Structure 1
Amino acid sequence: MNPINNRRAFLRSCAVLGAVGAAGILLPGCEKKDAGAGKSAAVIKGRADQVVDFKYPDNPSFDLVYVADSLGYFEGSRARPKYIGRIAAPQIIPLTGTGEIDFGARMVPLVISAIASGLDLKVVAAGGKTLQEAPHMKYFVRDNSGIVKPKDLEGKTVGFNSFGACAEFVTKKYLREQGVNVDKINWVVVPDNQGEQTLATGNIDVAIIHPPSSGGAENNPALRKLWSDYDLDGGLGGMAPYSVFGKFSRENPEATRDVVNAIARAANWVNANPDDARKITSERIGMKLELVERFAYIDDLVVTEPPIQYYIDILENEGKIKKGSIGVKDVYTNEFNPFAQGHV
């Protein structure tokens, strides 16, 4: 067995057998590995003949579905990921809303816009959060660019992974508050894994990059970090939730609940074991470990309303949705999260 498979087998053993430790039998070597899972380790009672495959992208990213799968959290549940190949970031929410995929992880404004356009999906798990030491996205410039303050961006080209998401709206909101004319900025789409190189070669002046890809830019001596999204809004816009195709959740409520359970457990495990989680991602996507930046997740992935209202307000102010047409509760539900306890 190769080293990667050895590691995955070890992690699965720790995750699956962690319950043994709770019964008073300690599995040697697993004490740290299961530190984050105990809080949220719900018992799944589904049988093999009830298993439902859910369609999911197979993208080179730091993702809770991949982590949960590596840890064995879908074993014994009523849901299994069926990876269907890579899907470009801008297409994930539209394809979730039409059922081409069953779950998708992308930012709140994309979900709101999709719902407003009549697509059938809803946020069911909160996903990532922004911390000062683990931001959702970072802003980079060339070290010799002379760009140091918001006004310097006027007349420049900014690259980010898609229109309609956090990188566009958080940035524009902040820049307007700083007196910047955002119409004087050239906004272009550059995938996260191409942002560092595109910036370094001078094809753009600012790159907004998400983890884990931001690690390369962070360690590139020719580049300089300008800000993170934590600097711009204190993390309010950093919730990166998981959404489900509505028809899938209506037809498969138990499987939907098991998916949310698995990724919530994985989120807590990642928060408790950030370096081990980075190793899983490094091995999975073939990125050097020292370049893989950590993620932080909302405890138990319970959705709260302020991050959603934040983006509803932005979309209304940007003229992207009609004022009052979408309410917070149209966007999310905690009904499939076994750890929500009273949240709806």
Structure 2
Amino acid sequence: MTSRRTFLVLSGLSALAAAGCGTASGSGIRNTTTLRYQGSAGAVTPPELAAALGFLDGLKLDWVGNTISGPQDIQSAASGQTDFGGAFNGAVVKLAARKAPIKAVVSYYGSDKYAYSGFYVTEKSAIRSPRDLIGKKVGMNTLGAHHEAMLDIYLKKSGLSRAEAEQVERIVIPPVNTEQSLRQRQIDVAVLGGILRDKALATGGVRKLFSDFDLRGPFSAGTLVLTERFIKQNPETVRTFVTGVGRALDWSRTTPRAEVVARMTEIVAKRKRNESPDALAFWRSYGVSAPGGRIAEQELSVWADWLTERGDITSGQVSVPDLFTNEFNTNRAKEGS
């Protein structure tokens, strides 16, 4: 796996010109039946679940390795190293601002009362309010993505100026080391989600300062993207893929949790990637509340505004309506979930 991932990284620039696997343009005919992608160790992504449930109608997924970085994942898709990737919507906007020919096609993760990322401090920490964060260290998995955006929104809503917010130090820490770093006082605040959050709470000695769900309520936070060229050359493949992923999201939301976890555990066992399925016992939700994973413009525009305020992009640099499409999602748009 390592040698293959190394090859993919080294060949990224040359692959950019050849992004997309099809040979015909806009024919309405499926040009490829295999989609290359990156997964996540010990987890089952919505596309993987869709494939296992038979929702991809014969499409096959070709796993090329794992990633813990959304920005890296969509860069791989943009350069043709993989056929699709997923990331926080702010990262999608930022990559599009760099003229990457990508388009978001379906949501794949978000925040709800079960799936959320919290900002935690030790129980005895003196940090009680946003202003207490000035001069403190916040540990998160990557910069310029979901967690940093939530921190900025929290500080801004609490009245801190940009200059004051910049005094809050953001530290990149691998997710598996974040809780330990907090307890050893190497950082003052730890961003924890999923099993890492639940294990920390079960151990005790930590308390929540705020969460993304506290800030915004339920929302879809990340989308899967493909290149515009791939979409043009493989429209029926894209339609099958997007619709299948949307069905899998709906299935996960309406099926008893125990059954979902059992199916995911079976998937991990069958793929034989030398990984532990233990984290799946803590799975609760993908956090996507929109039926079929359909994308709302506001889910991208809010991050375009955030990036503009940060100075990462200029006003009008990205046309949000052109950045996503629900055209290939045949799951019915309806109220409720």
Q: Where on the TM-score scale, by shorter chain, does this alignment land: which range? A: 0.7 to 0.9
1:182 equivalenced with 2:155 (yes/no): no
Q: Under a length normalisation based on structure 1, what TM-score does the superposition of the two structures give?
A: 0.77
Change (3 A) 1:288 1:52: closer
Which of 29, 48, 52 does residue 66 from structure 1 map onto?
Answer: 48
Residue in 1 aligned with 2:15?
none
8 Å contact from structure 2 (residues 36, 63) kept in 1: yes
Residue 227 of structure 2 aligns with which residue?
245
CA offset at residue 341 of structure 1? 6.5
User: 1:107, CA displacement in angstroms?
Assistant: 0.8
Residue pair 1:199, 1:206 contacting (<8 A) in 2 also: yes
Q: 1:126 aligns with which of 107, 111, 120?
A: 107
Q: Which amino acid aligns with 2:238?
A: T
Q: Distance in 1 between matches of 2:319 and 2:238?
A: 23
- Which of 121, 140, 143 aligns to 2:120? It is 140
Residue 263 of structure 1 is matched in structure 2 by 245
Question: What is the aligned-residue RMSD (CA, Å)?
Answer: 2.5
Deviation at 1:146, TM superposition (A): 2.5
Residue of structure 2 equivalent to 1:329: 321
What residue is the counterpart of 2:4 in the other structure?
none
Q: How does 1:69-108 map to 2 (within 5 A)?
A: 69-74=51-56, 76-77=57-58, 79-89=59-69, 90-108=71-89
Partner of 1:219: 202
Q: Is the 8 A contact 2:31 2:233 kept in 1?
A: no
Q: Give the corresponding residue for 2:11.
A: none
Superimposed CA distance per residue, residues 65-84 of structure 1 (whole angstroms, 9 cap, x where no aligned partner): 1221232323x33x211000
Q: Counterparts of 1:112 and 1:301 in 2: how far apart (Å)?
A: 18
Answer whether contact 1:215 1:293 (CA < 8 A) is retained.
no
Q: What is the one-letter code of the residue matched to 1:286?
A: P
Change (3 A) 1:213 1:67: farther
Are 2:189 and 1:209 aligned? no
Cα distance change of structure 1 residues 288 and 161 upon mapping to structure 2, 3 Å threshold: closer
Name the structure 2 match of 1:157: 137
**The 10-residue stretch of structure 1 (210-219 or 313-322) with the greater mean CA deviation from structure 2:** 210-219
| SS of match in other structure, 1:184 | coil
Cα deviation digits, residues 159-208 of structure 1 (max 9, x gap) = 11211212111211221221332211110112333322332332221111
Checking the alignment, whether the CA contact within 8 Å between 2:291 and 2:331 is kept in structure 1 is no
- List structure 1 segments (4+ residues) > 3 angstroms apart after TM superposition: 278-283, 288-293
Consecutive unaligned residues of structure 2, counting only runs of 5 or more, are 1-27, 269-275
Which is bigger in relative contact order (C-alpha 8 A, separation at least 6)?
Answer: 2
| Residues 299 and 290 of structure 1, relative CA distance in 2, 3 Å threshold | same
Find 1:308's aligned residue among 280, 300, 303.
Answer: 300
1:233 aligns with 2:225: no
Return the alpha-carbon distance in structure 2 between the equivalents of residues 93 and 129 of structure 1: 17
Alignment of 1:41-52 (within 5 A): 52=33
CA 1:101–1:50: 2 relative to 1, 3 Å: closer
| 2:312 matched residue in structure 1 | 320
Give the C-alpha shift of residue 293 in structure 1.
4.0
Consecutive unaligned residues in structure 1, runs of 5 or more: 1-45
Equivalent residues of 1:135, 1:235 under 8 A apart = no
- Among 180, 184, 191, the residue aligned to 1:197: 180
Choose from 270, 277, 295 the match for 1:286. Answer: 277
TM-score (norm 2): 0.79
Aligned length: 292
Give 1:337 shift.
Answer: 0.8
Which moved further from structure 2: 313-322 or 146-155?
146-155
SS in 1 for 2:66: coil
State the distance in 1 between where 2:173 and 2:83 align.
Answer: 26
Provide the residue aligned with 2:24 in structure 1. none
Residues 172 and 182 in structure 1, CA contact (< 8 A), matched pair in contact too: yes
Amino acid in the other structure paired with 1:147: I
Say which is worse superposed, 58-67 or 315-324, in terms of deviation.
58-67
Structure 1 residue 281 displacement after superposition: 4.3
Amino acid at match of 2:286: F
Secondary structure of the 1:162 match is: coil
Identical columns (%): 26
- Name the CA shift for 1:98/1:296 in 2 (closer, same or farther; >3 Å): same
Which residue identity is paired with 2:133? L
